[in-house]
Amino acid sequence: MTEMTLQGPPGRARGMDGPLLDIRGLRVDFPDIEGTPAIDGMDLTVGRGEIVALVGESGSGKSLTALTVMGLLPPGAEVVGGDVMLEDEDLLSVSPKRRNEIRGNKVAMLFQQPKVMLDPTARVGGQVTESLRQHRKVGRREAKTRAEQLLRDVGIPEPKRRASSFAYQLSGGMAQRVMIAAALSADPELVIADEPTTALDVTVQAQILQLLKQKRDDLGLTILLITHDLGIVSTMADRVAVMYAGRIVEDGATRDIFDDPQHPYTQALLRASLLEAERGQLYSIPGSITQARLLDQGCRFLPRCPVSVALGIQQLCGSAEPRLSTCGNHEHHSRCYASRDYAEAG
Amino acid sequence: MTTVVTEDVHGWATSSPLVELHDVVKHFPAGSGKTVHSVDGVDLAVRQGEVLGLVGESGCGKSTLARTILRAVAASSGHIIFDGRNITSAKGRELKALRRSMQFVFQDPYGAFDPKMSLGTSLEAPLRHHGMKDRSERRERMLAMLDRVGLEEAILERRPSECSGGQLQRMVIARALLLKPRFLICDEPTSALDASIRAQILNLLVELKEQLDLTLVLISHDLRVVRYLCDRVAVMYLGKIVEVAPRDELFTNPRHPYTRVLLAATLSEESTADDMVLRLKGEPPSPIDIPSGCRFHPRCPMAQDVCSVKIPLVSEAGPDHTVNCHFWDEVPPPPASAHLLPTSAPAPA
């Protein structure tokens, strides 16, 4: 774990110029489940005003990372190492009281199924301002006016009427707008959006993504976007971090990741998502991510890696895990012996 | 291994429809004397051996149309012809026999099986229901099907919670094909799956379609999946089919403004921030209050006065290409959505 901490990407110095969110060497385990920890030496920095996309297959640990930052670990999960710094506070060691102050106020989260996340028995207006009333001691009358304003800001027509609707009366797109309004109500600095548009139509998806991006531009919001849809990543993100089996295997500027992917897993993900046929067969990544949890040494991707076989370096790959090392430019890192400049990089 | 399209593209002109819909309507009562116009007069043919894509936003009636075709719900009016027979009001023994020829693959593989039953018990149910009494015969049929969809026998002992999404979706497909149907409707078969598993399931569907001589309707709002899998595409908006065309034609030369908007809204790995321009305002109107004239006019970037008054009739926009729009010949070419143009499948001659 200490090694991971030292080997993190060369983050900017802490303080106001430093990253807003800085995850170092994070390890989260389910002690009852056999195998390596679900998050196992994760490093991720998110700078102020950035949109960073966290991508990877189901089971790679993306959502668990988000829940750890939010302090909403599922039952059975346990943080066993690392730091999660939000500015200069370690979110893993703050008191429950402080944690509640941070949640909603500084960090908010958007979920995949907005209609499930809204309380079916309460009018949406009240839900939008819940965290505002909690954190800012705003009175009922003012909260009502604020709710309408917030709903208007996220593009909901007739906000006054909508504020008194129930969740079942909203379409999926409307419900996600309501969730965005609620998330932004107490002016958080960081929004974690976990597959925010997966359940929505393409037309509505474009509208919601546009809205998020506009909020970033207007309010200087920082967004950690979790998705497995690389099309969304390509349009939204400034930087991309690729996660596999509980750790980052590649990160860099969005264009570098798409145009010049260095890690075989990133290359495979891109190929699989292109939906282009070769001799009538679509490419899919061989094997399964579950194989990775049984490995306790070497590269986690080795059992599925075509590059290692092609280069005949399986022995090296199986003996020790490669470092997350610089390739191409100083913002682009890859955790693979076959990545460019691996030997030279420190 | 041949690709999806090859033979079917050339067979179109002669192949007879397996399913024909004539002015099919499905209305639901909405209380206070109002009506939900879910499916509002659909004419459509599904040709023998083809893969027909059905696309449109949530709430446009795609899934209701599918359920109406399969007779899961009864049509309010119109006619459904399957293999030359009018099945609109089939019931009893005839309907049960029909169910064997037409099957459905659901969107959510996690919710498709009883969580308390082993997958084997779930898989066996349709065989029992359709009178296969011999236990070893049932077993044999199940194992043969598992082999086809690439699953091990051991999965029969497991419960749904012990399986991955990809495994469950294979099971859903296995169950649908167990009774040897000729016609399969897949409703968003891959939207709950991530990219790599999605590719595996699409490969499987193509393979099974060829091996088993299936006719397929694919409902999806993911145009990339439609582009890959379908021979023809029908676009649905608020209960009506607004455009039907061969796949390549639809993606390169959409003639309905709504189709064009759908193409523009689909993001891919080659999209950049500039592509994400809002091209469509608002959400579909409620199917309870259908707009007058062309039902797309309140959201249409090209709408003119006539559109709110006169319902557009079907126009021939090209060979095998129909569209319902007053101004179909003025719709600009699709935006730079090169990512949606077919890349590897052969173009029709």
Question: What is the dihedral sign for C-alpha B237, B241, B242, B246?
Answer: positive
* Closest CB to B280 among A198, A203, A282: A203
Q: How many Å lie between the alpha carbon of B43 and the closest alpha carbon of chain A?
A: 24
Residue A207 carries which side chain, given as an amino acid letter? Answer: Q
Name the pLDDT band for A13 (thresholds 50, 70, 90): very low
Q: Which of B227, B278, B344 sits opposite A207 (nearest CB)?
A: B278
Residues of B in contact with A173 (CB under 8 A): 283
Report phi then psi at B147, rounded to 5: -60, -45
Q: From B72, B71, B164, B158, select the one nearest B123 (Cα to Cα).
A: B158
Q: Please report the DSSP string for B260-298 in residue order.
A: HHHHHH---TT--GGG----S-S-PPPTTSPPSSSTTGG
Angstroms from A235 CA to nearest CA on chain B: 4
> How distant is the Cα of A18 from the closest Cα of chain B, in angstroms?
26
For residues A202 and B105, the model is more confident at B105
Whole-number pLDDT of residue B11:
43
pLDDT digit string (tens) for A33-51? 888 889 999 999 999 999 9
Task: Using pLDDT thresholds of 50, 70 and 90, give the confidence band for residue B281.
Answer: low
- Can you give the pTM of this predicted structure? 0.82
B192 CA to centre of own chain = 16
- Chain A and chain B share a number of CB contacts under 8 A equal to 127
What average pLDDT does this structure show over A1-30?
Answer: 63
Out of 3.40.50.300, 3.40.190.290, 2.170.190.11, 3.40.50.720, the CATH code matching B6-252 is 3.40.50.300
pLDDT tens for residues A140-178?
Answer: 888 899 899 899 888 888 888 889 999 888 888 888 889
One-letter identity of residue B334 = P
pLDDT at B14: 47
Work out the burial of residue B256: count CB atoms within 10 Å of its CB; fewer than 13 is exposed, 13-18 middle, 19 or more buried: buried
Lowest mean pLDDT among A21-25, A77-81, B193-197: B193-197
Answer yes or no: is pLDDT of B314 > 90. yes
Q: Would you list the domain boundaries of chain B?
A: 6-252
pLDDT tens digits, B71-120: 999 999 999 999 999 999 888 999 999 999 999 998 788 888 999 999 99
What pLDDT, on the 0 to 100 scale, is given for residue B280?
Answer: 64
CB neighbourhood size of A10 (10 A):
10
To 5 degrees, how large is the angle CA A23–CA A182–CA A162? 160
CB atoms within 10 A of CB A228: 23
User: Residue B162: is its pLDDT beyond 80?
Assistant: yes
Cβ contact, residue pair B269, A230, below 8 Å: yes
Q: Give one word for A77, left, alpha or beta, with left for phi > 0 and alpha for psi -120 to 50.
A: beta
Nearest alpha-carbon partner for B3 in A311, A223, A27, A279? A279
In the predicted model, what is the mean pLDDT of residues B281-304? 86
pLDDT at A3: 39
* Whole-number CA gyration radius for chain B: 21
pLDDT band at A283 (very low <50, low <70, confident <90, very high): confident
- Copy the structure tokens of residue A81: 């190492």
Q: Does A2 touch chain B (CB under 8 A)?
A: no
Average pLDDT, chain B: 86
pLDDT digits (tens, 9 = 90+) for B222-276: 888 898 899 999 999 999 999 999 999 999 999 999 998 888 877 666 666 555 4
Kindly state the percentage of chain B with pLDDT values over 90. Answer: 60
Check if A306 contacts B (Cβ < 8 Å): no
Nearest to B57 among A203, A229, A268 (CB): A203
> Taking CA atoms, what residue in B is nearest to A203?
B265
Name the pLDDT band for B197 (thresholds 50, 70, 90). confident
Band (A8; pLDDT cuts 50, 70, 90): very low
Domain boundaries, chain A: 263-334
* pLDDT tens-digit map of A246-262: 999 999 999 999 999 99
Q: Please, what is the angle between helix B195-212 and helix A264-273, to 10°?
A: 50
Residue B13 is predicted with a pLDDT of 42
Per-residue pLDDT of A112-125, as tens digits, reads: 888 888 999 999 99
β-bridge partners, A190 = A107, A222
pLDDT of residue A6: 38
* A201 lies within 8 A of chain B by CB: yes
Choose among B196, B267, B275: nearest Cβ to A272. B196
The pLDDT of residue B173: 94
What's the whole-number mean pLDDT along residues B336-349? 43
Smallest Cβ–Cβ distance between A235 and the set B222, B267, B283 belongs to B267
Contacts of B223 in chain A (CB under 8 A): 202
Whether A313 has a pLDDT exceeding 90, the answer reads yes
The nearest CA of chain A is from the CA of B97 a distance in Å of: 34
State the DSSP code for B85. Answer: E
Higher pLDDT, B287 or B1: B287
